[in-house]
Homo-oligomer: A and B are copies of this chain.
């Protein structure tokens, strides 16, 4: 049986029974949609992902793009299906009709693209990056830029990139050094080096539109002097496409996402690289950060998808592979049992399941908040949804990356020696997953963002809203007859997080910012445990389908997660409070 990527039943359950996505159709932009249009979009992505994209995964992993004569050639299997991928229209599906989209709610769009991610994460990358680039142009670009460079992307004819990172700056965008020199015609001449540019060159489309962070001559130092530019590989002049002096300086040999090249690009080596300002001068990071929530949640979805496909691989293997006998068995002539019969194998499966399902529910929920934040008629509803979205984004980005990586390693472990070979796909999935803790802000940066900004913003309003949400879920869980101990464990955990947050914020307000943020990684982890426990409680409460095994499976995931992880939350909270500061004190020469 081939890998389902995500089960139909799980997606339908989350969409309709847990997240009530149909309620979104009451909002103005979505009134043309209904359950069947949601399902159809997802089904078309699912079919393409399972039947067409998944079979390209191993070939594209084994043979990454080649750099020949300064040009990047992608795998022929990918070229062959690109037309079909573009025809799905997922780059534009979530956008309004004015730009050619169907205004699909984000949660539906996210679950549809999740199938692409699960089937071939690198191949999905082209779509995700193009959508991000076009969306920046849509929001901040001039009408002319939109017509010239956004429309072809939305039509699937061109692709796009995000060109932020520079060799000397990495995560530190304050240190971007690419220069933009104004010219009389209003455009800029761009000069600088970017690195790790995913999809920075390829032969899938005739043009590539780079969204480039650069500094206008004379701009102030730091993040307040960084502007955003549209810099195409080939610029439009009249009806022609003219080479725009963007050269491939080198290809990075990545360990995963190998359908997608990662490049070092040189802008303006010949002095002929034209760029157009997108948005206000020096406000490039602002523009970027408006997209950042979206990008980070997409990375979270990448992580869940990669863990999901590995979970299903290891489940199928555990059901089929016979080995050994139960610990109580005495008769060595009895047939060997499928390894799913061993409790420790079931532990590894249930843990993967809990990570994948919890992560997927969270990503879906943040997508709902994103739509409410943008489209709810009531300003206070919008503001509240935005707060929840902001608060949950660091968790949605990092939980799937970190615990998904653990899940991917468990999928290998279940395969035993076979998992350690490239004949099975689980090792490749683990390599794919590792990037998600690094790109779009490392896990360390997510921890600083959560504790240093998100939980303390607006006097802690996000946390207040989170408690309200969890309280509502707890009430629903009680109504559904969920074990009171599970409900109480989750609501108590909210109190633990609240009081810990207050204590840490007080430390920061007292002037010890370093002390406040010292355990930000532990804080991120414990916060994630709570947020995922909440998802499991919500799923357990809603698990009232016709399929009793499905329902009890959801309840067991919830039991497992809450019973095994909430104690860890408590422990980590004590650690955060304890003042344990060994790694603050350790000096480089003591390492």
Contact = CB atoms under 8 A, between A and B. Distances in A.
Contacts of A585: 556
Contact of A409 (B348, B405, B447, B591): B405
A452 B342 CA distance: 15
A505 interface: no
A520 B344 contact: yes
Contacts of A513: 327-328
A578 interface: yes
A273 to B, nearest CB: 23
Contacts of A430: 434
A117 B416 CA distance: 22
Given A514-B328, A588-B319, A350 B582 contact: yes
Interface stretch (A20-28, A127-135, A332-340): A332-340
B315 A346 contact: no
A583 interface: yes
Nearest to A566: B571
B580 A564 contact: yes
B575 A444 contact: no
Nearest to A426: B255
Interface string A394-413: 00000000000100010011
B255 A421 contact: yes
A578 B323 CA distance: 29
Interface stretch (A11-19, A170-178, A300-308, A358-366): A170-178
Contact of A438 (B325, B420, B564, B584): B420
A271 interface: no
B583 A563 contact: no
A169 B322 CA distance: 8
What DSSP secondary structure best describes chain A's contact surface? helix
Contacts of A252: 417, 421, 423
Interface in A552-569: 552-553, 556, 559-560, 563-564, 567-568
A496 interface: no
Contacts of A588: 319, 338, 340
A591 B349 CA distance: 7
A583 B347 contact: yes
A231 to B, nearest CB: 21
- Copies of this chain, whole number: 2
Nearest to A311: B591
B420 A343 contact: no
Q: Which of A168, A323, A582 has the most CB of B within 10 A?
A: A582
Contact of A584 (B175, B343, B452): B343
Interface string A532-560: 00000000000000000110110010011
A574 interface: yes
Contacts of A435: 420
Contacts of A437: 413
B567 A582 contact: no
Contacts of A501: none
A345 interface: yes
Given A253-B423, A567-B575, A571-B571, A517 B327 contact: yes
A222 interface: yes
A464 B351 CA distance: 34
Interface string A425-457: 001001100110111001110011000100000
A420 B254 contact: yes
B253 A421 contact: yes
A165 interface: yes
B416 A346 contact: no
A280 interface: no
A200 interface: no
B571 A559 contact: no
Contacts of A427: 255, 431, 434
Contact of A517 (B196, B343, B351, B423): B343
B255 A336 contact: no
A416 B189 CA distance: 30
Interface in A174-196: 174-175, 195-196
Nearest 6 pairs of A and B residues by beta carbon? A222-B332, A553-B590, A560-B582, A172-B324, A344-B444, A347-B583
8 contacts: A170-B417, A221-B332, A343-B514, A349-B586, A553-B589, A553-B591, A559-B580, A560-B580
